[in-house]
Structure 1
Amino acid sequence: MAKNIDLKAIDLNSLYQQGKPVQLGIAGGVIVVILVLAYFFVYSGLNEQLSQLKQEEETLKQTYTEKSGQAAHLDALKAELDSINGSFNSLLKQLPTQAEIPNLIQELHECATKNGLSMDSVTPSQAQNTDSGNKAEQQVIQTLPYNITLTGNYNQISQFMRDVGKLSRIVTLNAIVLKRNDKDNTLTLNAVANTYKALTDAEIKAQTDDKKS
């Protein structure tokens, strides 16, 4: 039977003089201590790296899922964008050019006359760019307001407003005020007839230059 080794009684300076069991026991103990320390140092570092890699994996999975969903809807979004662009271009074609403005005013007169109304006045007001609410955006459409006054009965005025909505070019009636004339029981309509004009490239460029200055 092997004798118990008293580690306190061992002199490290005379370790080489000790017997083989003592030397092997001390060497084994040192190796065990080194392995334990190495295990804790290495394992703790690897465990931290593993946690980071797992977190990165989850993030990549989430990003992949989001990108996959976007890619799946890409064709639908492109089709929707093409449809919006088509509708916008169609609306632009309904806007009068500068040369067509006089004809448009003439059409307003004809609508009034056809319905038995008296067109008392058509006065152009100050043109203004359509405001999108974002001052940084370029305005591509200009509003051309006309103050109009006409007189007639209720049915005539109602039909006039319906006919204006059917014009080939876009015209909207705003700021409508109706007043009754006590003398002949007719109505006077005061309104702002807005039509819209697409700005030319030169006008858009001038608008951009004004913002820079």
Structure 2
Amino acid sequence: MDVNELDFENIGNWPPLFKGIFLVIIAGLIVGGFYYFIFNDQIKSLEQAQTKEVEIKRQFEAKAALASNLEAYREQMVQIEGLLAQLVKKLPSKSEVSTLLDNVNFIGSDNGMQFKRFKPLPEVEHEFSVEVPYAIEVIGSYDQIGQFSADIAKLPRIIILDNISIKKVDNEVLNVELTAKTYTYKEAKQ
């Protein structure tokens, strides 16, 4: 029997070889259809789940590493809090700012410098502190200005000399304009 002589209305009378080939083709189409319509989406979902699993494992490993070092981090936090407390102690309180500025004035006068200007500037608020700047203009020799700066650095509270402009008045006298800044710690609002 020839393939062209096969009648699709009478498949039962086909030779066994052709019946087998036909059944294999039908089975292949059914398996292909199942794969395409059912398994294909499930395979994509499986691949997404496997990718997510890898990411979750990576996150877990990172968190496990952090957790294993938790005690060391706690000790470090205690050290940092102690250091912060020491640094905050170096900042003047609001009530100490005027005394600190008197000290700056005294140090300048004690070093033989003449103050031409000692003017408060607007305070600048930062996240944890308030900057308290003063515009200062003094006249003195190079040595007097150097000693003034050194004595300011020795104060127990933090004062920063910034925006320094030095002009020569004569051979040994200099005119110095600067901004002296100190900071007060802004207490956390409850």
Q: Structure 1 length normalisation: TM-score?
A: 0.67
Query: The residue matched to 1:149 in structure 2 has which SS?
Result: strand
Structure 1 67/114 Cα, relative in aligned 2: closer, same or farther at 3 Å? farther
Q: Where does the alignment leave 5 or more consecutive residues of structure 2 unmatched?
A: none
Mark the runs of 5 or more structure 1 residues left unpaired by the alignment: 131-138, 206-213
Deviation at 1:68, TM superposition (A): 1.5
List aligned pairs for 1:40-119, cutoff 5 A: 40-44=32-36, 45-46=38-39, 49-73=42-66, 75=69, 78=73, 84-119=80-115
- In structure 1, C-alpha distance between the alignment counterparts of 2:110 and 2:59, rounded to whole Å: 60
1:179 aligns with 2:167: yes
1:81 Cα deviation (Å)? 5.6
Structure 1 residues 177 and 5: alpha-carbon distance in aligned structure 2, compared to 1, 3 A threshold: closer
Q: Look up the match of 2:142.
A: 154
- The answer for the alignment partner of 1:208 in structure 2 is none
| Larger radius of gyration between Structure 1 and Structure 2 | 1
In structure 2, do the counterparts of structure 1 residues 71 and 165 end up closer, same or farther at CA, with 3 Å as the change threshold? farther
CA RMSD of aligned residues (A): 3.6
- Name the aligned partner's letter for residue 57 of structure 1: Q
Q: Counterpart of 2:26?
A: 34
**TM superposition shift of 1:92:** 2.4
Deviations 1:81-112 (A, max 9, x none): 65555444433222211111121012112322
The alignment covers a number of residue pairs equal to: 185
The answer on whether the counterparts of 2:142 and 2:172 sit within 8 Å (CA) in structure 1 is no
Find 1:169's aligned residue among 157, 177, 186: 157
**Counterpart-to-counterpart distance in 2, 1:34 and 1:107:** 101
Q: Distance in 2 between matches of 1:180 and 1:57?
A: 75
Quickly say closer, same or farther: Cα 1:154–1:8, change in 2 above 3 A. Answer: same
Whether 1:193 aligns to 2:180 is yes
Q: Deviations over 1:4-38 (max 9, x none)?
A: 588847694xx6xx8xxx37848756643432222
TM-score with structure 2 length normalisation? 0.73
Shift of the alpha carbon at 1:145? Answer: 1.0
1:185 aligned counterpart, secondary structure: coil
Instruction: Provide closer, same or farther for how the CA distance between residues 81 and 34 of structure 1 changes in structure 2, counting only shifts above 3 A.
Output: farther
Deviation at 1:127, TM superposition (A): 1.4
Mean alpha-carbon deviation: is it higher for 56-65 or for 151-160?
56-65
Residues 116, 83 of structure 1: alpha-carbon distance in 2 compared, 3 angstrom cutoff: same
SS where residue 112 of structure 2 aligns? coil
Once residues 170 and 31 of structure 1 are traced to their aligned partners in structure 2, the CA distance between those partners, rounded to angstroms, is: 93
CA contact (8 A) 2:6 2:14 kept: no
| Structure 1 consecutive aligned stretches of length 4 or more whose deviation exceeds 6 Å | none
